[in-house]
Amino acid sequence: MARIGLTAERLTQAGAELADEVGFDQVTVSALARQFDVKVASLYSHLKNSQDLRTKIALLALEELADRCAAALAGRAGKDALTAFANVYREYAREHPGRYAAAQLKLDHETAIASAGVRHAQMTRAILRGYDLTEPDQTHAVRLLGSVFHGYVSLETAGGFSHSAPDSQESWSRVLDALDALLRNWPAT
């Protein structure tokens, strides 16, 4: 019988909070059971296994991030949209490091196409329409932006920029300026 108050949603939320505290790689059904002071077996009516829990956290993170991005993009275009979108990723990674890591989890094809990851790609493409990019350049630019945002945020949250001047915020602003300039002057294929 399921323990009163435990649901897949509540366990996913608790798992996401745990990921932010201890790191996404440390989140398991056993760790979650310890947090709720229940036996591991009592969670299996809500979760298949640790991979299922990790997938649910990833889906939650993608949804949260997509919702934040959509709100930030409302009414914006061009560099303003690019900057707002990038800043959401950076802020989310800082506020929720475990969830941000979860959002990078490789999902199976069916799960991925049903996830909010699709919204992320659509929003990125919407930003790029302001730069008049067509295919295949638009796909190349989507990959470039994702790589730059994720790379910068990953290095920054790991402390990679904390030991030298200038301040990381100054570099971030310069990176976004450079991306905007590159997108405005995208090389012809």
pLDDT digits 0-9 by tens, 135-185: 999 999 999 999 999 999 999 998 999 888 999 999 999 999 999 999 999
Please state, in angstroms and rounded to a whole number, the distance separating the CA atoms of residues 67 and 118: 12
Predicted pLDDT of residue 1: 38
Please state, in angstroms and rounded to a whole number, the distance separating the CA atoms of residues 49 and 158: 29
Closest to 124 in 3D by CA, of 84, 167, 83, 85: 85
Q: What is the pTM of this model?
A: 0.91
> What single letter denotes the amino acid at residue 31?
A
Please state, in angstroms and rounded to a whole number, the distance separating the CA atoms of residues 73 and 28: 35
Looking up tokens 């435990």 gives 6
Please state, in angstroms and rounded to a whole number, the distance separating the CA atoms of residues 108 and 112: 6
pLDDT above 60: residue 3:
no
Looking up tokens 């649910």 gives 56
User: What does pLDDT average to over the chain?
Assistant: 93
CA distances from 123 to 24, 27, 58, 127, 151 (A): 26, 30, 19, 6, 19
Please state, in angstroms and rounded to a whole number, the distance separating the CA atoms of residues 74 and 71: 6
Closest to 65 in 3D by CA, of 132, 141, 133, 149: 149
pLDDT above 50: residue 2:
no
Please state, in angstroms and rounded to a whole number, the distance separating the CA atoms of residues 73 and 70: 5
- Start-to-end CA distance of the chain, whole Å, equals 62
